[in-house]
Amino acid sequence: MPTPPPLPDEPFAHVLYYEPRIPGNTGSAIRLAAVTGARLHLVEPLGFDLSEAKLKRAGLDYHDLAVMTVHPTFDAALDALPDARVFAFTAHATTSYTDVAYEAGDVLLFGPEPTGLPEAALAHPRVTDLVKIPMLPGRRSLNLTNAASIVTYEAWRQAGFPGSEG
């Protein structure tokens, strides 16, 4: 297998998982970061060990192709991305993910299953806007990484799919 090209110095987006609990979702997020060039950030505490088999299985052989950073707190994660806009995804927002004009380096913030983002994160002064992915009435939420994938690909599309082959 040929060596993949290096990732750009500045990513088109940062995917931030607030206290993720399900290893398979985080493994899938590693794969998402690897195939798009987004950077993945995890806020502790994690609901699993990073060496857990389910995490490795979901990420397949993409772990070495993704950039992932684990932060001890939400504020530490935001401090590491001081100039970035932060879009917090929640079913309780009025702005649709398709109404956002994403910019390079934006943070796409997602909460853990099954609770979603806590009120303190939603009300954090660094949060630029609360954003939703439209769903049929009476449905609680999408799978975490499915939701992150929808939004990550929209941000990447708006950026012109930098670094892609097609």
- Regions of the chain with pLDDT less than 50: 1, 58-59
Q: What is the pLDDT of residues 62-80, one digit of tens each?
A: 767 888 999 999 999 999 9
pTM assigned to the model: 0.91
Q: Which domain holds residue 60?
A: 13-158
For position 141, which CATH number holds? 3.40.1280.10
Q: What is the pLDDT of residue 24?
A: 86
Q: What is the pLDDT of residue 114?
A: 82
Q: What is the pLDDT of residue 165?
A: 79
- Is 45 within a domain? yes
Q: What is the pLDDT of residue 119?
A: 97
- Is 75 within a domain? yes
Q: What is the pLDDT of residue 134?
A: 95
Q: How many CB atoms lie within 10 A of CB 154?
A: 17
Q: CA separation (Å) from 54 to 8, 60, 100?
A: 29, 10, 33
- Is 163 within a domain? no
